[in-house]
Structure formats: structure tokens, C-alpha cells
Amino acid sequence: MKRSILLLLAIWLLCATDSVEAARKRDPKIVKATQRALEYLAREQRPQGYWEAHHSQYRVAMTALAGNALLCEGSTTTRGKYSKNIQLAVDYLIQMSRKNGLIGYQNDYHYMYGHGFSMLFLSQVFGEEENEQRRDELKHVLTRAVDFCGKAQTKSGGWGYVSAKDGNDFDEGSTCITQVQGLRACRNAGIPVPKEIVDRAIKYIEKCTTDEGGVQYSIRGGGARPPITAAALACLFNSGEYESEYTKRLLAYCKKNLSVTGGASRSFGHWHYAHYYYAQVMYRLGGTDWKKYFGSLSKTILRRQSADGSWKEGHVGPVYTTAINATILQLDNGFLPIYQR
């Protein structure tokens, strides 16, 4: 165990060195905007460790997304500028872990989003955690979370806003993809994830794909949607599927239907959600594709930032959009395994 911790520490230090060097080459405006965004998130965290959306909603999901944005800066639970914030967020989500494995509130009618994002965030923390007792605690929480996720899967292989049992076996694309990426992150961190759960989910996504190459809202229909397609593509990239004909179809659809400016996008009001995932795809592609895309996207993002460091677009609230934009702007820091090339 000590050797593995020392190895993780060495990897973290190597990534930190590479990140510092990368930061020197970054646009100072992007660096400054990111710093302002993270400071905003730090200020908005409640003493109990959580963040929340408008009307005190989605505390679990907002905590996981905001915590993830702080991790992208390079801080961990034990070191860095935002270590205390991250530690509080982890404590809160551990407290939200139920006996049945759900991370969240059972009476939240969108609890699968928070559950999926929490698996993603906590698995990234788990990979860097040096304290053996805390590692054991996180492993226990994540193992139960994976188990709950498997039991919450519908007969079709997807997930809905709540579990299959609580939601009468209803499923839809966006929550399905949140679970898949969370499960991938857990597997990458060493948490056992039954292969059949992810395989069924990938087949579900494939069945949701239309002839034009877009992933629709649900297996029952709803029409192809660029944001869900971008999210599905990011999940496939997470699993190393870059060159298949299927991923090429999804990528071609996204390139045709996603707008960086947001002016002509069929995003159904989910511009930030779409580019949160599409940016991960373009970053993994790298080269001129990434540089051109990120150059245009970052200009759009920076232009819309408010004086307090947040972004106030959308109906969910500024914590949501700020966490997503801050994550996008920090992808090339390369700290989190789930986003790495």
C-alpha cells in the first residue's frame, strides 16, 4: 500500500510539473478567468461542504461538479489552494451515501444525476488519496455506489432520472451517459465494475442512435440531440474507442450540429452541458482540431463571464455553469485521469 501511495504521489508531482509548464504557455486571460471562477466557487460553498443550484436544488450534483472543477486546478484533499474545499465536499458526499449505495436524496426526483457525478468526482479523489483510512472509506462508498447503479439500470440497459424501480423502468440518454462516465471513472480508479453493466449501457446508447448519426433523448424516441450525442461520444472516448465507424458517425454529427457560439446550435437549451462533453472529445483528439475549437470556445466563454467570476446563463444556476466552464478551461491541466489523453 505504501509503495502504491508513493507511486501515486510521484505521478501527481510529475503532472503538477507538466501543468505548471503548460500554464506558462496558456493565454493569461484564460488563466485569470479560471482563477476568478474557482474563487467564486470557493465563496459559494456552504459550511456543510455542499454547493447548490437555484432554489436550493441538486446539492449532490452541484457539489460533485464544483468539486471536480477544483480538482482540475491541481488541488487535492491534502494539498493545494482548494484542499479544504475539496475535503469538505468529499465529507458531504460521503455523508450522502445511503445504505443501499445511492449517493444522494431518495426523494430527489433527479437523484441519478447526482449519483453519477458523485461517482466521477469521488473516484478522482480516491486515486489521489494518501490516507489509508480515508481510502478504505472511499472504496466502500464507491463500491456500494457501483452496486446501486447496476441495480438501478433499466431492462433496456439505460437509466432514468431515478432508479428503474422508482421510475417504472423509464430511461433517457443524459442520465444514462452520466452513469456510464461515472462507472468508467470508478473502474479506472480500481473499483470493481461488472463489465455487463457498461456493455448493456453502450448497447442502449447505440440503439438510441438515429440514421443521421445523432443520439436521441430516449430509446422510445424524442429525436436526435447534439448535447446527448456529444456526451455519448465522450463516454466512448473514455473507453478508448476513437476509430470505430460508430464513433466517427457521432463525431461527424456533432461537428455539423454543435455551435461554439451557441447561435445556431440545436442544443435544446443545454449549450454548457453539450460543450462540457464535446470539449473532452476535442481535447482527446488534440492537435489543430483542439486548438481551433478551444480557441473559439474559450473566447465565447470568457466574453460571457460576470464580474464576480461566475457565469449566470441557463436555468440551473451559476454554480452549475461556472463549474462546467471552469472544468472546460482547465482540461489541458491534465490532472484528472478521466479527462486525460
- What is the Cα–Cα distance from 202 to 194, expressed in whole angstroms? 13
**Is residue 321 within 8 Å of residue 312, measured between CB atoms?**
yes
Site of grid cell 456533432: 254
Residues of the chain above pLDDT 70, percent: 91
Which region among 17-26, 155-164, 257-266 has the lowest average model confidence (pLDDT)? 17-26
CA distances from 289 to 155, 256, 328 (A): 38, 14, 15
- Phi (first) and psi of residue 247, to 5 degrees: -65, -35
Which region among 47-61, 84-98, 110-124, 255-269 has the lowest average model confidence (pLDDT)? 255-269
Which region among 155-164, 260-269, 271-280 has the lowest average model confidence (pLDDT)? 260-269
Determine the topology of domain 2-339 in CATH: Glycosyltransferase (1.50.10)
- What is the Cα–Cα distance from 47 to 319, expressed in whole angstroms? 16
∠234-237-241 over CA atoms, to 5°?
140
CA distances from 57 to 72, 143, 314 (A): 24, 26, 14
Q: What is the mean pLDDT of residues 135-143?
A: 97
| HSE (side-chain half, CA atoms, 13 Å) at 221 | 0
Q: What is the mean pLDDT of residues 181-196?
A: 96
CA distances from 44 to 63, 203, 227, 297 (A): 11, 39, 27, 25
pLDDT at 136 over 70: yes
Which region among 67-76, 111-120, 177-186, 241-250 has the lowest average model confidence (pLDDT)? 241-250
One-letter amino acid of 192: P
What is the C-alpha end-to-end distance of the chain, expressed in Å?
27
**Is residue 184 within 8 Å of residue 200, measured between CB atoms?**
no
> What per-residue confidence (pLDDT) applies to 23?
47
**Is residue 112 within 8 Å of residue 170, measured between CB atoms?**
no
Of residues 157, 158, 59, the one with CA closest to residue 110: 59
Q: Where exactly are the structural domains of the chain? A: 2-339
Site of grid cell 478504505: 136
Round the average pLDDT of the chain to a whole number and report it: 91
> What per-residue confidence (pLDDT) applies to 268?
57
Residues 223-269: tens digit of each pLDDT: 899 999 999 999 999 888 888 999 999 999 999 999 898 654 455 56
Regarding pTM above 0.85, the answer is yes
* Three-state helix/strand/coil letters over the chain: CHHHHHHHHHHHHHHHHHHHHHHHHCCHHHHHHHHHHHHHHHHHCCCCCCCCCHHHCCHHHHHHHHHHHHHCCCCCCCCCCCHHHHHHHHHHHHHCECCCCCECCCCCCCHHHHHHHHHHHHHHHHHHCCCHHHHHHHHHHHHHHHHHHHHHCCCCCCECCCCCCCCCCCCEHHHHHHHHHHHHHHHHCCCCCCHHHHHHHHHHHHHCECCCCCEEEECCEEEECHHHHHHHHHHHHHCCCCCCHHHHHHHHHHHHHCCCCCCCCCCCCCHHHHHHHHHHHHHHHCHHHHHHHHHHHHHHHHHCCCCCCCCCCCCCCHHHHHHHHHHHHCHHHCCCHHHCC
CA distances from 241 to 34, 63, 203, 238 (A): 30, 30, 14, 7
Query: Cβ–Cβ contacts within 10 Å for residue 17, how many?
Result: 10
Dihedral sign of CA atoms 185, 190, 70, 296 in order: negative
